[in-house]
Structure 1
């Protein structure tokens, strides 16, 4: 049957369909949980600071494991790692659904994250291998659309499920999807070359995981712990020591977990750095905009969702078009053009007032979606096209890792800048009025969005100096 499938003219699109199903499920589950946190907190009797770890633990686990499973896919076969990821993700989802204790739920989310990282780390490699050369940009553009659709669908679907069935339903919905995806993966995906003669670097994987988890903990929790606190400094020290040890150790191995020589290639390094700063810029807005609409404009959650929706909607529309164009025009036109639109949108938002018309805010969200869609597809294409076929797994894992690090870093930077500026504004006011609270909020919001525009500008400068050749 596999031979018959492989003879079909559209076989690579069957591979694509299976891989994006995994991408959709992983991104959907990352966003669907947020809306259920207040309900979970009440029903499981836990504080919001504790229940937030349902999201944080998932993100930390995924980020620390992405390059590991990208490398595992290169060594043991991408099909094996990718399809087994569905099984583990499905088991984790079932455990989440039956959890009656917050600790069990958090532990189950880590199991989910292990499966999700196995899927996400190999998605781009599977797509890149199935669509070599100029067709790769179009396929990666559609992957960007699927990511946007998963993120866009999550909150609305989660709200419906939580309101009608209960919070556990947001996990049970993954079971049929995961089982179907596993079966389709076994049938459709090519077995590929199995390079078992290469050893897997388990100690390097351990060092990297400890270092990344420590770093992301500091980035995500530093504003709560205090940037000069003993906890922050000691955790950052652990991260610095283990990551430095990792880099030194990897350089001595014949088969390292992460081939650090990839970063010697300017197209790869430029693409990853540009991607990092672009996600930092994006999440400076994504994190604070809902609070502006709630605290300053006093909008209902439904209206907030509607005003934010233009961002993922326009990204879903533009990403495949940009991917298609990346096969035909200079990459710099798309990446720098997209980042320029992002900078313009963030600069406008850095000056909004309590009376700014809502349609202008919605239009800015649409512009940010267009800018992100224009940038992401050709940037991903550039990264994957800069490495050889046998390194696609680890390259895709690093690319996905950079996305998560950018999200966490952008959120941490935005929140820290916002809180610092807001507290300075209020430090000499004993009992602030509602007007003063609004002014304090906007003072922090404006400077945080300016910082986001600076991140986008750094990304644009790097992208402007990249090589644009796609092989």
Structure 2
């Protein structure tokens, strides 16, 4: 391939990636509009976001493995086609559960594309051009995440909520034509051993059952059904771990988690993604329900967080390279605590500038924490496991985001029940929740987020403190 053909192929592949990342953030701006359109409470509303993330999380390891076997261009094109058709179905939905079902199918397409884009770019580009290409993907992802709220607010204001899904159709069609025209065919690699169907099925079942349990808790009292879901979650997780540890070629390599520092870093990373989804899910509701901000302005007000993260992320990486990963990661998570405490101060008479300040601080915290945490994860694994660890980070990101939405919805629902007069088990439509009740529930949700951030600080600092202490004690014993 010539350089021109390479970059054309890159443009079409990353256009699809841009679209998926726009879609991930564009829907958050639409949440207040959808709540009023379909008369939804927070427990039902969460499924618009959760279903998409749940499906991506559940099948990502499976589709990544299938792409190796069947060929990446073919699988990527199929994923893009699924995304186009499901986006059309989302926009045409007349009932809420039609929209949720279409979002689930959209998650299948999004998962296929997420699993393949970096691999396709790596295979296409020669080694001397690969770093620049992969770095540009990071910019495309950041750009899509940044543009999502702005584009979503404007499209909803001008054309209504279905337009945020319809816009994917022409972009996707152009993308699929370009991918089939310019991206080379990469032959599949036959499996050396039997495909780990059982492991993939157990992982998908665990994700679905576990997240369904969290979602169910947000709108009903603890019941026999929840007990069954909890037992099923534990059983499925146990079975998945047992199966994967015994496989010669497992779907997910779990042996790396035997290293305590690696596991602690992954745990902190999971909590980081949960924290990121609290403002992403709750702030659009607060801005419209309490401050009565127009939908187009909500999109603009969600941007400072992404801009701050984009600016600070390289700084966090620089500090990580220069001073080690623990210091910058700890500072980042302490800033998360500070940002969440600011969110607890938001009320009916709060200045919009104060809300922007809280979101900006959250973006700074995310930028300071993310790069050091990823570096720590890779540092604690063997070099030959780099590809496997990258896949684990992708799964962690999607699972954390799914859990973040359900956790935020659960915390807000509990707050509405605590400070309102509605009994447990009623998913009260957002428009029927009094402003003072919503504000108190919103503050409660961010107190929960503050607690999660404190746990993350412990996961960042404590393992290294214990390791250092044990090393000192061993040195003293040897000296004696």
TM-score, with length taken from structure 2 = 0.76
Relative distance call for 1:456 and 1:241 in structure 2 (3 A) is: closer
String of CA shifts for 1:196-224, please: whole Å, max 9, x gaps: 33432112211111111011111233121
1:248 to 236, 242, 247: 242
Aligned to 2:22: 28
1:290-301 to 2 correspondences below 5 Å: 290-294=284-288, 297=291, 299-301=293-295
Relative distance call for 1:170 and 1:415 in structure 2 (3 A) is: closer
How far the C-alpha of 1:454 sits from its partner, in A, is 1.7
Aligned to 2:444: 444
1:175 to 150, 163, 169: 169
Aligned to 1:212: 207
Return the alpha-carbon distance in structure 2 between the equivalents of residues 353 and 46 of structure 1. 24
Return the alpha-carbon distance in structure 2 between the equivalents of residues 41 and 349 of structure 1. 22
Return the alpha-carbon distance in structure 2 between the equivalents of residues 292 and 165 of structure 1. 23
String of CA shifts for 1:100-127, please: whole Å, max 9, x gaps: 5655544333222111001113345556
Indicate whether 1:196 and 2:156 are aligned.
no
The worse-fitting range, judged by mean Cα deviation, of 447-456 and 377-386 is 377-386
Indicate whether 1:112 and 2:106 are aligned.
yes
String of CA shifts for 1:256-278, please: whole Å, max 9, x gaps: 21121232355653442221011
- Unpaired segments of 5 or more residues in structure 2? 423-433, 468-480
What is the SS of the residue equivalent to 1:32?
Answer: helix
Return the alpha-carbon distance in structure 2 between the equivalents of residues 195 and 368 of structure 1. 45
- CA RMSD in angstroms, aligned pairs only: 4.3
Aligned to 1:431: none
1:56-455 to 2 correspondences below 5 Å: 56-99=50-93, 104-125=98-119, 143=137, 145-186=139-180, 187-188=182-183, 191=186, 194-226=189-221, 228-265=222-259, 268-294=262-288, 297=291, 299-320=293-314, 322=316, 330-351=324-345, 356-380=350-374, 383=377, 386=381, 392=387, 395-420=389-414, 423-424=417-418, 437=437, 440-441=440-441, 444-445=444-445, 447-455=447-455
String of CA shifts for 1:252-308, please: whole Å, max 9, x gaps: 222221121232355653442221011222233433444444555554545544443
How far the C-alpha of 1:370 sits from its partner, in A, is 1.7
Return the alpha-carbon distance in structure 1 between the equivalents of residues 338 and 176 of structure 2. 43
**C-alpha contact 2:215 2:410 (8 A) present in aligned 1:** no
The worse-fitting range, judged by mean Cα deviation, of 143-152 and 254-263 is 143-152
**C-alpha contact 2:343 2:443 (8 A) present in aligned 1:** no
What is the SS of the residue equivalent to 1:279?
Answer: helix
Return the alpha-carbon distance in structure 2 between the equivalents of residues 416 and 108 of structure 1. 23
What is the SS of the residue equivalent to 2:276?
Answer: helix
TM-score, with length taken from structure 1 = 0.78
